[in-house]
Structure 1
Amino acid sequence: MKIFSARVENGETNLTLRPIFPFTAIVGQEEMKFSLILNVIDPKIGGVMIMGDRGTGKSTAVRALVDLLPEISVVADDPFNSDPQDPECMSDIVREKIQNNETLIIKKKKISMVDLPLGATEDRVCGTIDLEKALTEGIKAFEPGLLAQANRGILYVDEVNLLDDHLVDVLLDAAASGWNTVEREGISLSHPARFILIGSGNPEEGELRPQLLDRFGLHAQIGTVQNANLRVQIVDQRSAFDQSPLLFREKYLPQQNQLADLLQAARELLPKVQIDSKLRIQISQVCAQLNIDGLRGDIVTNRAAKAFAAFEARTKVTPKDIIRVGPLCLRHRLRKDPLETIDSGQKVRDAFETVFT
């Protein structure tokens, strides 16, 4: 897969205008990178919440992910990135064209990443209906929002813990259902909104409510690198990139292409990956032992383990896969004292090792 620099801002893709720091050049922060990779392989994992100190590369890593995303087939001139092969990912516009036996123009495009500004309104996020046109002309005139642009792509929310709770609810509902519905004065319109929701934030500025945190598939914790040699390496990498971004990117092109090919192969292999019923029972045993509310923890752990197996080109999930992804899937779902921070993952890891060994 050929890599090029692409970024989507307000739905528009700019090529090579703002070179992106290569994903494979990021030093350390393995947990964050691993979580992002799993979500690219299986978007149904439910996104990832990245919490960490300021200046630890959260935004850099998410934006670097754009280079690794594969191309998808979309219907040209459709604002919702409709999938021409999947009726569940088609907008009403495309459905009507198919019903009228119209020929669909199909094109390839890179999976896009859309940034959600902190001060965005609900109309900007969900889209708006032109009531005047609807009432006078009987036409459902819809102005697509960020959820439409993010369909079949990535929606990134920096400082998600500072976002209005109501907007977070809207985002999580759309991410969970795969659809966005806009209702105004008795007029309703829906469109597909299947995206990977990635949030990042600084725990010093407050945690998300447990009900909202539970809706994120994975939770990655990152901290400031303390090893002096690694810190120097990170500074050198950033200085080299700032001095000559294109030359720096060219240096990492082979690694970028190799990782992009691995991700594409893993996405194709994923439907063939199997997890034994015994392992599924053991996953649920761990969730019950940890008093995890609901079944999201069970579901996400199964999905993440299969995505990890696919990434390593295997069609069978092993206990080691489950132990590796377990803390990412469950640590933010543990019941805790309101004054405590989220568990580092050791409690979850111990529970998995007890059950699986």
Structure 2
Amino acid sequence: MSPTAQATAAARRVVFPFTAIVGQEEMKLALLLNVIDPKIGGVMIMGDRGTGKSTTIRALADLLPEIPVVANDPFNSDPSDPDLMSDEVRQQLQQGADIPVVPKKVQMVDLPLGATEDRVCGTIDIEKALSEGVKAFEPGLLAKANRGILYVDEVNLLDDHLVDVLLDSAASGWNTVEREGISIRHPARFVLVGSGNPEEGELRPQLLDRFGMHAEIRTVKEPALRVQIVEQRSEFDQNPPVFLEQYQSQQEELQQKIINAQKLLPSVTIDYDLRVKISEVCSELDVDGLRGDIVTNRAAKAIAAYEERTEVTIDDIRRVMTLCLRHRLRKDPLESIDSGYKVQKTFSRVFGVELSEETTQQNGTGQKIGLRN
């Protein structure tokens, strides 16, 4: 590491390394797949307090490779992709202007619970617009989150209207602000990650359905693992640089794996028969709409790319299906069967594969999904 790189690392806030996080495989897998293909549509993470949700998301943002952005641009515009650049940058490019480009860490934007719509979407200064004839726009958090990760802790306590705004931007990739006949839009393509504690209430089903994946995490029960987590944390807190160095090579390896997967993703194919069976599972589970089918297809391709393959296997589908469908099932208050188990059971019947013993044992406690490195 060069002296300048060391200085930059020292100036940045020290973040717990992603590869050092013990357990919570389901959450880690969902986050990695969304980074490989942001079009999956984000992750909703539901789980007990103190299970490392925020730590894991910050660790992921820190792990991601730097991206090229247009210098001094409030929207982190991409210098080459028109869908990820502001109208101003696009005009400059069309006029043949020379655009300065700088590398930048992927942004992770925290959305505070009390945020107003103006703070999230940005505001237009009407007085300035009328007196000076310019579109005076003050960018909000969605502008800052473009090409990054937008994290909403306790998303189930956020105003429904704001959740709607976030999901609209995440789905369309654009944010539009209109006021007094003046309209401004800018790119807002980000991975939306929401987390919450089920005890504090669920999200409305129509909002929940718009999250691509839904990961459930629980407090680790095995005493030996709990001790390992506690020891790791105190080791990190006592001397972060030494702790980070231990995981440096694993971090770099995983970072490279993500880059390779993003490049390989467009070449990944999924057999027609498998696509039909995915839709058959969704149909049998009575999933409303086609979002479940689309997300499962995307996630299966992303996991294949992550494992450096260009063809999706039945096992890929098995490992992502619960994450993609469990929150789309209609809830029957009288039913005691866990929704994850229900998805796996239908999957095994349609695809003609046996339910693993582990899944059968875990009926009611959630499905464990393997993350291979």
TM-score, L = length of structure 1 = 0.94
Question: Structure 1 residue 335: deviation in Å?
Answer: 0.6
Question: Structure 1 residue 40: deviation in Å?
Answer: 1.0
User: 1:91-130 counterparts in 2 under 5 A?
Assistant: 91-130=86-125
User: 1:224-303 counterparts in 2 under 5 A?
Assistant: 224-303=219-298
> Number of aligned pairs?
350
Larger displacement relative to structure 2 (217-226 or 68-77): 68-77
The gaps in structure 1 that reach 5 residues or longer are 7-12
Tell whether the 8 Å contact from 2:17 to 2:63 is kept in structure 1 after alignment. no
Q: What is the letter of the counterpart of residue 52 of structure 1?
A: G
Tell whether the 8 Å contact from 2:143 to 2:187 is kept in structure 1 after alignment. yes
Q: What is the letter of the counterpart of residue 337 of structure 1?
A: D
Question: Structure 1 residue 337: deviation in Å?
Answer: 2.9
- Secondary structure at 1:252's aligned position in 2? helix
Matched, 1:162 2:157: yes
Tell whether the 8 Å contact from 2:27 to 2:215 is kept in structure 1 after alignment. yes
- Secondary structure at 2:332's aligned position in 1? coil
Q: CA–CA distance in 1 between the matches of 2:95 and 2:256?
A: 38
Q: CA–CA distance in 2 between the matches of 1:144 and 1:62?
A: 24
Q: Which residue is 1:337 aligned to?
A: 332
Q: CA–CA distance in 2 between the matches of 1:171 and 1:340?
A: 32
Q: CA–CA distance in 1 between the matches of 2:284 and 2:9?
A: 49
Q: Which residue is 2:58 aligned to?
A: 63
Q: CA–CA distance in 2 between the matches of 1:163 and 1:5?
A: 39
Matched, 1:34 2:60: no
Quick one: structure 1 residues 37 and 288, their matched pair in 2 at CA, closer, same or farther if it must change by over 3 Å?
A: same
- Secondary structure at 2:245's aligned position in 1? helix
Quick one: structure 1 residues 75 and 224, their matched pair in 2 at CA, closer, same or farther if it must change by over 3 Å?
A: same
User: 1:210-225 counterparts in 2 under 5 A?
Assistant: 210-225=205-220
Q: CA–CA distance in 1 between the matches of 2:86 and 2:96?
A: 16
TM-score, L = length of structure 2 = 0.90
Alpha-carbon deviations, 1:303-356, whole Å to 9, x = none? 000000001100000011001100000000001136879944110011111111
Tell whether the 8 Å contact from 2:62 to 2:106 is kept in structure 1 after alignment. no
Tell whether the 8 Å contact from 1:5 to 1:19 is kept in structure 2 after alignment. no
Q: CA–CA distance in 1 between the matches of 2:137 and 2:109?
A: 19
Q: CA–CA distance in 2 between the matches of 1:22 and 1:33?
A: 12
Quick one: structure 1 residues 349 and 281, their matched pair in 2 at CA, closer, same or farther if it must change by over 3 Å?
A: same
Quick one: structure 1 residues 217 and 177, their matched pair in 2 at CA, closer, same or farther if it must change by over 3 Å?
A: same
Q: Which residue is 2:178 aligned to?
A: 183
Equivalent of residue 133 in structure 1, options 114, 128, 131: 128
Quick one: structure 1 residues 340 and 47, their matched pair in 2 at CA, closer, same or farther if it must change by over 3 Å?
A: farther
Q: CA–CA distance in 1 between the matches of 2:270 and 2:41?
A: 19
Question: Structure 1 residue 105: deviation in Å?
Answer: 1.1
Q: CA–CA distance in 1 between the matches of 2:12 and 2:127?
A: 39
- Secondary structure at 2:45's aligned position in 1? strand
- Secondary structure at 2:156's aligned position in 1? helix
Question: Structure 1 residue 87: deviation in Å?
Answer: 1.3
Alpha-carbon deviations, 1:51-79, whole Å to 9, x = none? 00001111110011022212222111211
- Provide runs of 4+ in structure 1 moved above 6 Å: 339-342
Alpha-carbon deviations, 1:214-258, whole Å to 9, x = none? 010000000011101001111101111111111111111111111
Q: Which residue is 2:361 aligned to?
A: none
Tell whether the 8 Å contact from 1:331 to 1:342 is kept in structure 2 after alignment. no
Q: What is the letter of the counterpart of residue 291 of structure 1?
A: D
Q: CA–CA distance in 2 between the matches of 1:14 and 1:355?
A: 50
Q: CA–CA distance in 1 between the matches of 2:209 and 2:337?
A: 12
- Secondary structure at 2:260's aligned position in 1? helix
Alpha-carbon deviations, 1:118-144, whole Å to 9, x = none? 111111100000100111111101000
The gaps in structure 2 that reach 5 residues or longer are 353-373
Over the matched positions of the two proteins, sequence identity in percent amounts to 72
Q: What is the letter of the counterpart of residue 152 of structure 2?
A: V
Q: CA–CA distance in 1 between the matches of 2:250 and 2:87?
A: 40
Quick one: structure 1 residues 276 and 183, their matched pair in 2 at CA, closer, same or farther if it must change by over 3 Å?
A: same
- Secondary structure at 1:316's aligned position in 2? coil
Tell whether the 8 Å contact from 1:151 to 1:195 is kept in structure 2 after alignment. yes
Q: Which residue is 1:45 aligned to?
A: 40
Q: What is the letter of the counterpart of residue 222 of structure 2?
A: N
Q: Which residue is 1:24 aligned to?
A: 19
Q: CA–CA distance in 2 between the matches of 1:289 and 1:50?
A: 25
Q: What is the letter of the counterpart of residue 68 of structure 1?
A: L
Q: Which residue is 1:85 aligned to?
A: 80
Alpha-carbon deviations, 1:133-156, whole Å to 9, x = none? 111111101000000000011000
Tell whether the 8 Å contact from 2:69 to 2:104 is kept in structure 1 after alignment. yes
